Structure 1
Amino acid sequence: MDKIIAFVIQLAFIALLVILGIVFSKGKGSFLIAGYNTAGPEEKKKYDEKALCRFMGKLMFILAGCYAVIMFATVLDRTEFIWGGIVLILVICVWAVIYANTGNRFRKRK
């Protein structure tokens, strides 16, 4: 019974990540991006909002895939894959922060 509850909760979380991925991939939902939503109007004009949202959409799909690994590992009682999925999520999040904040990738071209 506990595995079923864990499976349903994890599946709901994966569905949330996929829905966010779809929203971001359409170039919408910038108000959900931390840092961008708190920037002033002048600062927001410097960034390509659609490109930033598309990047976040791809990131959500990747994180959903990583969490799917954790979900199946939980059902199969494979602790090593659970830890592998957690490490993978952490590595991808660190990479995404570094990627997004270097190289002015999302700045508008003049």
Structure 2
Amino acid sequence: MFSIGIVFTILFISLGSILLRGKGIRMLSVYNMLPKSRKATICKEALCQFMGKIFFGFAFGSMLWIIGGAINSPTVIVLGLIIIAFLAIASTIYVLTTNRFNSNK
């Protein structure tokens, strides 16, 4: 579990930093799920920056995996999994149901 946590932490930090710069819109499944008519109205840079911050939250959750493995605490590992699952579900719902990322404001 320790090495998996390190790999995921590095991956999430790397993706988060790419997205914070406004790049990598094609990597986001929440963007790819949208119909073409809705994609045309999305401010891609704002969406990338928001999702970059979410990926740093994912990195925090995976760091909890590392800490939980180091201190042999399944509670901390499960807490990290809960944080990641909550962020994934909440951010997807937020992006799909709000108008925050409209480029024609």
| TM-score normalised by L of structure 2 | 0.86
Structure whose CA Rg is larger? 1
Cα distance in 1 between the residues matched to 2:34 and 2:95? 16
Cα distance in 2 between the residues matched to 1:106 and 1:67? 27
Aligned with 1:33 (options 5, 28, 49): 28
Structure 1 residue 26 displacement after superposition: 0.3
Q: Residue 46 of structure 1 aligns to a residue in which SS?
A: coil
Structure 1 residue 9 displacement after superposition: 3.0
How many equivalent residue pairs?
105
Structure 1 residue 76 displacement after superposition: 1.1
Give the direction of change, closer, same or farther, for the CA distance of 1:50–1:93 in structure 2 (3 Å limit).
same
Structure 2 counterparts to residues 5-24 of structure 1, below 5 A? 6-24=1-19
Aligned with 1:92 (options 67, 71, 87): 87
Cα distance in 2 between the residues matched to 1:83 and 1:40? 35
Q: Which runs of 5+ in 2 are unaligned?
A: none
Q: Which runs of 5+ in 1 are unaligned?
A: 1-5
Cα distance in 2 between the residues matched to 1:35 and 1:96? 9
Structure 1 residue 24 displacement after superposition: 0.3
The residue type equivalent to 1:80 in the other structure is: T
Q: Residue 29 of structure 2 aligns to a residue in which SS?
A: coil
Native 8 Å contact 2:26 2:32 kept in 1? yes
Aligned with 2:41 (options 46, 63, 78): 46
Query: Where does residue 57 of structure 1 map in the other structure?
Result: 52
Identity of aligned residues (%): 30
Give the direction of change, closer, same or farther, for the CA distance of 1:7–1:93 in structure 2 (3 Å limit).
same
Structure 1 residue 32 displacement after superposition: 0.5
Runs of 4+ in 1 over 3 A off after TM superposition: 37-43
Query: Where does residue 69 of structure 1 map in the other structure?
Result: 64
Aligned with 1:79 (options 74, 83, 95): 74
